[in-house]
Homo-oligomer: A and B are copies of this chain.
Amino acid sequence: MYDADTTREETLDPRDWDEFRGLAHRMVDDMLDHLASLREQPAWRPMPAAVRASFARPLPREGEGAEAVYREFVERVLPYPNGNLHPRFWGWVQGNGTPLGMMADMLAAGMNAHLAGFNQAPAQVEHQVLRWLAELMGFPEGASGLLVTGGTIANVLGLAVARHARAGFDVREEGLQGGRPRMTFYGSGETHGWARKAAELLGLGNASFRRVPTDAEFRVDPEALTAAVRADRAAGLHPFCVIGTAGTVNTGATDDLRALAAFCREEGLWFHVDGAFGSLARLAPDLRPQVEGIEEADSLAFDLHKWGYLPFECACVLVRDAEAHRDAFSIQASYLAETTRGVNAGGLPFADRGVDLTRGFKALKVWMSLKAHGTDALARLIRQNVEQARHLAGRVEAHPELELLAPVPLNVVCFRYAPAGVGEAELNAVNEEILLRLQEGGIAVPSGTVLGGRYALRVANVNHRSRREDFDALVEATARIGGEIRAEAAGAAGRAG
C-alpha cells in the first residue's frame, strides 16, 4: 500500500494566479482586438509553408508554460483561419459566432458543468433554453429536446426516434437484424448529406433512403413522393419516415412542409424536418410563411451555430412527443441510479435523450445570447441576411455579365460569371478559377457548387457582420476577375497562335 511519499501534491492550477490572470486578460484583449478589426483583415490567406511545418513538432514531454504556447497561438494559429469570422465569408453555411458567445463559452468551460442532468443550475438553464426553442419553433409546451454538436447528429437523433417509434417491434433490443421488411425513409434529392450518414449509421443502409425528385424550385415533388411510398408498400417494404427540408444547403429551397405533414398523418409516417438554418427564418414574421409546417413536425433539427449566430458547436433537436424521445434512448445503470436528494436528484434526463452521457454546458451561450440580444434582434438580423441575399440577387440580375442560377427564396444565392457567347465548359472552368482568386486575394469567401451541370458561386449568408457594400464588392470583383481570366486565356491563345 502506497503511504510513505510525502512530496507536495501537484495540481494543474496556476502556481501564480496573478500571473495567469494577466495572461488571461491579454488573451481577451487580443481576441477582442482581432474581432473588432476583421474588416481590415483579408477574408482568408494561405498558410506559409513554415507555419504549416511548425505543426509537425514532437510530442511535448516537458511543459513550456502557458505564456509560450499562447504566443505560438497568436503567431501561427489565429492569423490562418478558414475565414468564417469575416464580414465577407459566405461559404458552406458557417456562422461567425459573437463576442458574447465567445465569453459564454469561457464561462461554460470554467464551470465545466456536466450536462447529463444532475441537481444543478446548469441543467435548469438547458431546460429553459429548450422550452424557449420549442416555443420559437411552434412546438407544444411538453415537447422534448436536446442540444447537440451539429445538424447531422441532431437529424440522426430525430431519425433514430422515428425508427424506434414507427418500427412496430422492439428495434432497440432486436436491432434491424431480425430479417423483417426493410424500413425505408424519404426526402428530396436536395436533402443534405446527413441523411445518408444517418441511414448508414443507424444500420438502415443508404439503400433505405429514397431520394425523391424535385421541381424546378428544388422542392420535393409530392406526387413522386406518394408514388415512392406506395411502390415500397406494394413491394412489402416498411416506409416509416419522411424528411422535409427547410432551407436546402444548395439553394435555400424549402419543401411544402404543410403538405408533407398532412401526407405523413394520412400515411402514418413520422415527419422529420431538417431545418438546419432555414427553420430560423420562422423568427421573422414576414419570412415565416415560407417555412410554415415546421410546427407540425414530429421532430425538428436545427443549428444555433448557423443562423442563431452562436459559436460552434451548438445544434438542437426537438421531439413533439417527449415520451417517444425518452423511450428511444433511455438507459439506467446502477452507478447512475437516480436519488431523491443530493447531487443526482432528478436523474440524468439529457443523457436519456441522445447518445452522449458526458455533455458540456452549450446551453449557457444560448441562454446568455437569447437574453442579452433578445429574439427580436435575431429576427431582424435573419431578415437582414435575406434582404442582403435579395440585394445580391438583384445586382446579379442587373449585371450584363452575371447570371443567377437558382431562385433565391431565402439567404442562399447561386450565380456565375457568364458573358454572352461563352460555352458551358469554359464558363465552368472560369467560375471555378474566379472562386479561388476571390479566396486567395482575401476579397471574399463564397463556396462553389454544381447545379444542373453548371458551376455556381454560392453565397450562403448567415453573417451578422456583412453589409450591403460587401455584396456589392463581391459583384464587382467577380465580374472583374472573370474578365481578367478571359483576357489571360485570350492572351495565352494569342501567344500560342
Q: Cβ of A371 < 8 Å from any Cβ of B?
A: yes
Q: Cβ of A52 < 8 Å from any Cβ of B?
A: yes
CB distance from A396 to the nearest CB of B (A): 11
Q: Cβ of A488 < 8 Å from any Cβ of B?
A: no
Contact check, B171 vs A103: say whether CB atoms are below 8 A apart. Answer: no
Contact of A65 among B84, B200, B372, B458 (CB under 8 A): B372
CB distance from A250 to the nearest CB of B (A): 6
How many interface residues does A have (CB within 8 Å)?
Answer: 192
Complex copy number for this chain = 2
Fill in one digit per residue for A134-163: 1 if any B CB lies within 8 Å of its CB, else 0: 011000000000000111110010001000
Q: Cβ of A447 < 8 Å from any Cβ of B?
A: yes
Stretch at the interface among A87-95, A214-222, A228-236, A294-302: A87-95
Contact check, A199 vs B175: say whether CB atoms are below 8 A apart. Answer: yes
Give every chain B residue within 8 A of A5 (Cβ-Cβ): 387
CA distance A344 to B57 in the complex (A): 24
Contact of A102 among B59, B109, B196, B384 (CB under 8 A): B109
Contact check, A313 vs B360: say whether CB atoms are below 8 A apart. Answer: yes
Give every chain B residue within 8 A of A175 (Cβ-Cβ): 176, 182, 199-200, 202-208
Give every chain B residue within 8 A of A80 (Cβ-Cβ): 120-121
Give every chain B residue within 8 A of A66 (Cβ-Cβ): 100, 368, 372
Known: A110-B31, A197-B355. A55 touches B374 (CB 8 A): no
Contact check, B440 vs A125: say whether CB atoms are below 8 A apart. Answer: no
CB distance from A428 to the nearest CB of B (A): 12
Contact check, A112 vs B311: say whether CB atoms are below 8 A apart. Answer: yes
Fill in one digit per residue for A77-121: 1 if any B CB lies within 8 Å of its CB, else 0: 111111111000001101111111111111111111111101111
Give every chain B residue within 8 A of A394 (Cβ-Cβ): 1-3
Give every chain B residue within 8 A of A91 (Cβ-Cβ): 343
Contact check, A10 vs B81: say whether CB atoms are below 8 A apart. Answer: no
Q: Cβ of A316 < 8 Å from any Cβ of B?
A: no
Q: A13-B465, A152-B355 are in contact. List 20 more A-B contacts (CB 8 A).
A: A10-B377, A12-B99, A24-B32, A27-B107, A55-B128, A73-B107, A79-B121, A81-B122, A84-B113, A92-B116, A95-B112, A104-B109, A105-B108, A106-B106, A149-B359, A149-B360, A175-B206, A303-B358, A342-B439, A343-B439
CB distance from A338 to the nearest CB of B (A): 11
CB distance from A99 to the nearest CB of B (A): 6
Give every chain B residue within 8 A of A81 (Cβ-Cβ): 111, 113, 120-122
Contact check, A343 vs B44: say whether CB atoms are below 8 A apart. Answer: yes
Known: A35-B110, A132-B59, A341-B440. A149 touches B206 (CB 8 A): no
10 A-B residue contacts at CB 8 Å? A13-B464, A27-B103, A80-B120, A82-B118, A83-B343, A91-B343, A97-B109, A103-B106, A113-B312, A175-B176
Q: Which of A360-383 contact B (CB under 8 A)?
A: 360-361, 364-365, 367-368, 370-377, 380-381
Q: Cβ of A76 < 8 Å from any Cβ of B?
A: yes
CA distance A358 to B72 in the complex (A): 25
Contact of A106 among B3, B102, B381, B391 (CB under 8 A): B102
Give every chain B residue within 8 A of A343 (Cβ-Cβ): 44, 82-83, 91, 439, 445, 447
CB distance from A372 to the nearest CB of B (A): 5
CB distance from A373 to the nearest CB of B (A): 5
Give every chain B residue within 8 A of A445 (Cβ-Cβ): 343
CB distance from A36 to the nearest CB of B (A): 5
Contact check, B356 vs A64: say whether CB atoms are below 8 A apart. Answer: no
Q: Cβ of A425 < 8 Å from any Cβ of B?
A: no
CA distance A29 to B28 in the complex (A): 11
Fill in one digit per residue for A42-64: 1 if any B CB lies within 8 Å of its CB, else 0: 00101100011001110111111
CA distance A16 to B367 in the complex (A): 22
| Top-3 shortest CB links A-B | A203-B203, A175-B205, A63-B374
Contact of A373 among B12, B309, B397 (CB under 8 A): B12
Fill in one digit per residue for A300-334: 1 if any B CB lies within 8 Å of its CB, else 0: 00010100010111010000000000000101011
CA distance A481 to B381 in the complex (A): 57
Contact of A149 among B95, B121, B356 (CB under 8 A): B356
Q: Cβ of A450 < 8 Å from any Cβ of B?
A: yes
